[in-house]
Chains A and B, each alone.
Chain A
Amino acid sequence: MIGALLRRDLAQFFPFAGSGAALPLVFFLAIAMLYPFAVGPDANLLAKTGGGVVWIAALLAAILPVESLVRSDMERGVFDQLRLRGMAEEAMMAVRLLAHWLSFGPPLILAAFPAAALLGLDGPTLHLILIGLLAGTPGLAAIGLMVAALTASLRAGAALSGLLLIPLALPILIFGTGALARQDPISLAFVGAISLGLVAIAPFAAGASIRAARDV
């Protein structure tokens, strides 16, 4: 049952699979492409600030899929049907978290290569960005899932989810870019720790939100 659900979720969220699933990736690259046009071709400035821009782009790209993550399946009664077939909401959300991260984390990490080239980042910086994204994107995916489940039954959920997600993602951004400023990977350990904590609580928080939404 879990395998079937994971397969379906991946087919729904993987880039170029369905409607708008590639949007976060395109958005991420668009920011990396536009930034040099906006600040000018000063290679020093770009190399100094480019790493932070990549992180901001990753964070903003994480907001995009939140709207479609939980809402449509809740409206269609998919979670109710799975519940009646004996699957816990926590398990559904754990599967969704994995599918969401797989369709958003690794593509973003791959897209960091062209983004680094566009911003003229050097090797060590790219190295720190790649490790940082690997450690940070699971946390971003977990925040996205929790926010999506919390706002799924609200009418203005889409607007609200962006506002909710950004402050929650701040610690990941601070420690992720902190590593770049000091060229020291130690703060990426914090990013990983925050991510692990978020991944651990996300299925429970999101599962409880789905149950609570039935009573509304």
Chain B
Amino acid sequence: MQAPSAPFLRAHDLACRRGDRILFRSLSLDLAVGDALHITGANGMGKTTLIRSLAGLLSPYAGHIEKEGAFGLLDDRPSIDPDLPLGKAIRFWARVDGCNDILPAAQKLGLDDLLDVPVQYLSTGQKKRAALFTLLNNDAPIWLLDEPLSGLDKPAIVLVTSLIENHRNNGGIAVIASHQTVAIEGLKTLAIEDYAL
């Protein structure tokens, strides 16, 4: 399912703060179909704040954001109920996104053997893959990924990288905040330190 008009994400002169401290200022970005942006920066520089501001969950201190297309957010919280078996937990999100068959996406992420396991018994990497499942099913054109590679083993990192590539090739946009290297061709980079006060 593709949005009727081409997705884009623009930010003009963005400044964000946490508490009383301005994290960064005069940050602008312009992303169109097929773009992928890697936001780099040390811990505490405001990568997560930038991602959440772009998503509209935080209001920026200054500047404004324009976008076309829905957001899919992946962060350190998988948003799945820890008490439920994995299959039940992700079926809720599949239902919210109007998708009935969870098996194809689960197989793609190697989750099909884990569907009966309660979420609280899963490892960090397995939970991350479950979060990726909800992202894939959501089918939003603009991906906002906050540390998508943390806690993943090498094959899973390759898998996530190829998922991002696929998403770009299908006309999506990806914003990746990570301190790890992301091996994607034609990746734009934005060092958040350049905008710090």
Residues of A within 8 A of B (CB): 1, 4-5, 7-8, 12, 18-19, 75-78, 80-86, 214-215
Given contacts A7-B95, A76-B77, A214-B58, 9 further A-B contacts (CB under 8 A): A4-B92, A4-B95, A7-B92, A8-B92, A12-B81, A75-B77, A81-B93, A84-B57, A84-B73
* Contacting residues, chain B, for A215 (C-beta < 8 A): 58-59
- Residue interface mask B40-83, A partner, CB < 8 A = 1: 00000000000010011111000000000011110101111101
Residues of B within 8 A of A (CB): 52, 55-59, 70-73, 75, 77-81, 83, 92-93, 95-98, 134, 138, 140
A55 CB to closest chain B CB (Å) equals 32
B73 touching A5, Cβ below 8 Å:
no
A77 touches which of B56, B70, B75, B92 (Cβ 8 Å)? B75
A116 CB to closest chain B CB (Å) equals 34
* Contacting residues, chain A, for B72 (C-beta < 8 A): 84
* Contacting residues, chain A, for B70 (C-beta < 8 A): 84-86
Complex CA–CA separation, A83 to B96 (angstroms): 12
Q: Closest 10 A-B residue pairs measured CB to CB?
A: A77-B77, A4-B95, A77-B79, A81-B79, A84-B71, A8-B92, A4-B96, A78-B79, A1-B96, A76-B79
* Contacting residues, chain B, for A83 (C-beta < 8 A): 56-57
Complex CA–CA separation, A78 to B96 (angstroms): 12
- How many A-B residue contacts, CB cutoff 8 Å? 52
Complex CA–CA separation, A5 to B96 (angstroms): 7
- 11 examples of A-B residue contacts, CB within 8 angstroms: A8-B92, A12-B81, A76-B80, A76-B81, A77-B77, A77-B79, A78-B79, A83-B56, A84-B73, A214-B52, A215-B59
Complex CA–CA separation, A12 to B73 (angstroms): 24
* Contacting residues, chain A, for B52 (C-beta < 8 A): 214
A204 CB to closest chain B CB (Å) equals 19
* Contacting residues, chain A, for B97 (C-beta < 8 A): 85
* Contacting residues, chain A, for B95 (C-beta < 8 A): 4, 7
Measured CB to CB, the nearest residue on chain B to A77 is: B77
